[in-house]
Structure 1
Amino acid sequence: MSMSLPKALHEKVLKAIVERFDLVEDLAEDGGPFLPLNSHIPMHEGSVGYMRRFTGSPMFQVVTSSIVVPALQLDSHMVFAFTPSDSAVPHFTVDSVCAGEHHAFHLDLIPRMDLGSQLTYMNEVFLPLTESWERGSAIEGLSRAHLSPRQLGIMSPWMLANRATESAFVEIGSVVDDYLNHWFGLVENGISTEALNGLSASELIERDRRNKFAIFNADVDPVWQRIAPLVGNEAAEKQIETLRAVSA
């Protein structure tokens, strides 16, 4: 059986990150994934997926979440690569989903400084993505994902978050490559002193803590209100706790 398009994109991105930085997977005591996810709904018994966690320098952690429920026609995969909390290098994320006949994705580099007051940082870190963002936005077969203004406010203006036809989903793969390769360069080269603009490590850590609390928040992102009944409150809370973690 061939791999689904969302899972194939997810596996490609995860493999590239893990191999680039020689990361090590943190396994559960039984040798399985970091956090198994089991069904709490009557139309599906047993496993619906798992959260995986990888660590190693220069990352703080790379966290994935995969949930596949054929009874709900759901095939969802997320990877979130977190740089250290005292770094200004953005976090990288891509979600890839198939729900019934519809595909969707979310691609972004999460700002570590407030872009409205840090023009040099924005120019250095995000401006080079503009051509790829424009190309991705122009793909035929995309439509806007339903995100609230609050969700938009805690991500970057270069975020791509769309529903997609199958052909459009395939085409977005090259834009994901662009974002990932640009992010690799930022991780490996760092952020310039000019772009940091005197921001201290403690200020970066505290902003990272507040930003993660806002992003991984069931009040802000209603997807968590759907995940909890599916995998149980304990597993949903463990996922949020892991994603909110800071490295200092």
Structure 2
Amino acid sequence: MSQASTEQTVSLAQSLSDSTVDKIVAKYAMKEVLGSDGGPFMTLVSHMPMAQGTVGKVRIFEGGPLNKLVTCSIVVPQIFLDSHMLYGFMPSDSAVPHFTLDSVKAGEQFAFHLDLTPRVDLGAHTNYMNQVFWPLTEQFDAAEAIEGIEHAHISPRQRAIMSPWMLVHRASEDAFKNLFPHVDGYLNYWYGLVERGIDSPISATDLVNRDKANRAAIFSPEIDPVWGRIEGLIGKQAGEQLRAILRGE
């Protein structure tokens, strides 16, 4: 593969994440929370011998109806990794789902994860499911039909703590490009939920408690093995600090 092609494919994963972040920040006039040095909230430094120095950053934005928007980018050319994650967190006492997107280029293959994180148990609250998630079905089915994608292997435990409308796939470059409109589809649908609001079937206290428990599971190294690989790259202390931010601590 030529250097020009490598740069193109590496930038494609970042462009999807960055453009989505820019849209959310602009939509809600969010402001970035900077680190003590005036830069990103966290700078991620490699703990691997083959990659020295800074390999990533964590950015936090606040404002509007969101609690915060958290992004994490890790780029390590030495191991052919270009990974970008964003999570748009609603307040803990809100019934509106959180929005998340992972956009990754690893070696010759792309991968993505796109979802709205439920705020209540869908099986026990079918009215909530029908109101909040069922309208996403057409968009979900269209994304699932993209030629050149295949389901990524994740555990049943990981699926159980997200939504059944989660998209998590590996993709060819062409398929990954075809994903962009579907990310916008999920994003625009989420905007509507944020702006209309949702009547919660459970109390504010129960929403807060469930959100805390659900986020602890989503970002648990025991449930998601990616955290072990991340800590091997950026160190245990930075990995725990990042998870604490994502848990809302």
Using structure 2 for the length normalisation, give the TM-score.
0.95
Amino acid across the alignment from 2:97: P
Amino acid across the alignment from 1:245: G
Deviation sequence 1:58-81 (CA, Å, 0-9, x none)? 111110000000000000000000
Please, which runs of 5 or more residues in structure 1 have no aligned partner? none
**Structure 2 residue 161 is the aligned partner of structure 1 residue 158:** no
Structure 2 counterpart SS, 1:4 = helix
CA distance in structure 2 between the aligned counterparts of 1:77 and 1:5, rounded to whole angstroms = 11
Task: Give the root-mean-square deviation of aligned CA atoms.
Answer: 1.0
CA distance in structure 2 between the aligned counterparts of 1:98 and 1:220, rounded to whole angstroms = 22
**Structure 2 residue 194 is the aligned partner of structure 1 residue 187:** yes
Question: 1:25 is matched with which residue: 15, 32, 43?
Answer: 32
Question: 1:212 is matched with which residue: 215, 229, 236?
Answer: 215
Amino acid across the alignment from 1:200: S
Amino acid across the alignment from 2:213: R
Cα deviation, residue 57, structure 1: 2.6
**Structure 2 residue 107 is the aligned partner of structure 1 residue 100:** yes
Please, which runs of 5 or more residues in structure 2 have no aligned partner? 1-6
**Structure 2 residue 232 is the aligned partner of structure 1 residue 229:** yes
CA distance in structure 2 between the aligned counterparts of 1:11 and 1:50, rounded to whole angstroms = 13
**How many residues of Structure 1 are paired with residues of Structure 2 in the alignment?**
242
Write the mapping of 1:91-130 to structure 2, written as runs, cut at 5 A. 91-130=98-137
CA distance in structure 1 between the aligned counterparts of 2:172 and 2:54, rounded to whole angstroms = 28
Give every structure 1 segment of 4 or more consecutive aligned residues whose post-TM-superposition deviation is greater than 4 Å.
none
Cα deviation, residue 165, structure 1: 0.3
Using structure 1 for the length normalisation, give the TM-score.
0.96
Write the mapping of 1:22-61 to structure 2, written as runs, cut at 5 A. 22-61=29-68
Amino acid across the alignment from 1:178: G
Deviation sequence 1:12-67 (CA, Å, 0-9, x none)? 10001000011110001111100100010011110101010011131111100000
CA distance in structure 1 between the aligned counterparts of 2:137 and 2:179, rounded to whole angstroms = 15
Match for residue 3 of structure 2?
none
Amino acid across the alignment from 1:187: V
Question: 1:244 is matched with which residue: 236, 242, 247?
Answer: 247
**Structure 2 residue 146 is the aligned partner of structure 1 residue 143:** no
